[in-house]
Amino acid sequence: MANTPHGGILKDLVARDEPISAQLKEESLSLPYLVLTERQLCDLELITNGGFSPLEGFLNEADYKSVVDNLRLSNGVLFPIPVTLDVSRADVERLSIASGNRITLLDPRDEEALAIITVDDIYAPDRVKEAIQVFGADDPAHPSVAYLRNRVKDFYIGGKVQAIKAPTHFDYVALRYTPTELRAHFKKLAWRKVVAFQTRNPMHRAHRELTVRAARQRQANVLIHPVVGLTKPGDVDHYTRVRPREAVWHAIIRKNFGATHFIVGRDHAGPGKNSQGKDFYGPYDAQDLVIKYHDELQIEMVPFQQMTYLPSTDEYQPVDEVPKLRKRLRTGAPIPDWFSYDAVVKVLRESYPPRNKQGFVLFLTGLHNSGKDAIAKALQLTLNQQGGETVRQELSPELGYSSDDRHENVHRIAFVAAELTRAGAAVIAAPTSPQERSRQLARDTILQNGGSGGNFFLIHVATSLEHCEKTDRHGLYTQARIILLLETQSLL
């Protein structure tokens, strides 16, 4: 029998609103709309399918403050992570967002209308406090703090949503069970006890052994429940981790999917090292927090240590260390046969080649006539790659030289560079990019989309303005000074 949903009722908004979905879709055409980010899309999907029960929308200010301060919604129900819908000031002004407004939420992949939110309130969060309370420190070395600082917009919208449809997926369709579907599956199979194992990496032999052991000890069946979505750079495909709070959050999600037991491992929510080179959290902080809230969670935690194989006795035993897989992949060092399966290692080798076979992007920036183009051409000959000007002529022939056009040109070059470097190419780009926002966009695009080749090197050719102007045969600096002088005189 599946576990009771968190809060007592599974909030399957897609099923709830299915009778009026056609009306909602028709209404959505006349409403202002907001195109979600990929992160917001992940959150919306789990809100509307019930994975985030008891939530029925994005947190309003009262719920947000209560979750940040107390790990609870304003009604007292345990919920450790703020699920928010962030918008920019421009969005607020463009959509005239105010309490009571209804806004259509669009899928960023195809702009399909997925839901309508009725705005409760709009508020400016204290992001420093959110970082300290939720992630444990306002330290940009933490991937979620870096995201909060650099990517999250200035305002949050709170409000309940009505579901028009679930997001469409074309990959692993047969394995994408909603909480309602999975609960029905458990009932059909007469599974009374279900041990959920959350995987963030491919399952190796040690993982299988510890999962099978946990199930046998509790006479339960096993649910392998991978997390997918945004990733932490350098990690092997998993949803960005936060802190021990997330172990409680994961337990709630698995409970909503029907699991009765949840495996929480060593360093379950560890995002790595802080700015001082120390671990953000202790190895068993996540387990301790789940134990603290056991009575409210009503899902049994199954703790374990990591496992390794002992060739001398032909068995697995819990240990604190296992072979450093990521380092072995990065350097091309051999991976022992006993550690994983040949097929898994083969796929990982293809997806995460050693450093000497990974692509990279050299992004040169500097003043006009600084010499960055000459350096790029020299590197181009050395590496036998095509340079940035060829890309501009073929990719952006219609763009001019305004600030916005230059920004768009950098965006396009970054996108193409990410695709090339993901395939293992060495890419040299030397566009005119005087704006910090353009250079940051290029970095983010390549790091996020370049896969194992997301190696981005920003090179500033720091030639002095005096030298650049002195050797400027085309008189561009002279023209710029004249224009600036005319603009100044017109203001006077």
* Parallel/antiparallel/unpaired status of strands 85-87 and 360-366: unpaired
> Helix or strand or coil: residue 8?
coil
8 Å CB contact between 56 and 122: no
3 is catalytic: no
DSSP per position, 129-182: HHIIIIISS--TTSHHHHHHHHTS-SEEEEEEEEES-PPP--SSGGG---HHHH
**Measured distance CA(115)–CA(332) in Å, rounded:** 46
Catalytic annotation, pick one of 72, 200, 205, 218: 200
What is the pTM for the complete model shown? 0.71
At 7, which amino acid appears?
Answer: G
| Tokens linked to 232 | 């932490």
Element (H, E) at 33: strand 33-35
Contact 44, 114 (CB under 8 A): yes
**Relative orientation angle of helices 436-449 and 403-422, to the nearest 10 degrees:** 20
At residue 91, φ and ψ (nearest 5 deg) are -60, -45
Cβ distance 117 to 102 under 8 Å?
yes
Annotated catalytic residue 213:
no
- Rounded Cα distance between 184 and 186, Å, is 5
CA pair distance 420, 450, nearest whole angstrom: 8
Among this protein's residues, is 200 annotated catalytic? yes
Q: Which residues does residue 366 pair with via DSSP β-bridges, in sequence order?
A: 461
Please give the average pLDDT of every successive group of 10 residues along the chain, which has 492 residues. 90 98 97 95 97 98 98 97 96 96 96 97 96 88 85 96 96 92 95 88 76 86 80 40 75 95 70 68 78 92 70 58 64 73 82 81 90 86 55 62 83 89 86 88 89 85 90 82 70 56
d(CA 228, CA 101): 32
Provide the token pair at 17.
């609103």
Are 331 and 356 in contact, with CB atoms under 8 Å apart? no
Q: Which of 4, 37, 118, 201 is catalytic?
A: 201
Planar angle of CA 12, 18, 20, nearest 5 degrees:
130
Q: Which of 70, 101, 199, 463 is catalytic?
A: 199
80, 249 contact by CB (below 8 A)? yes
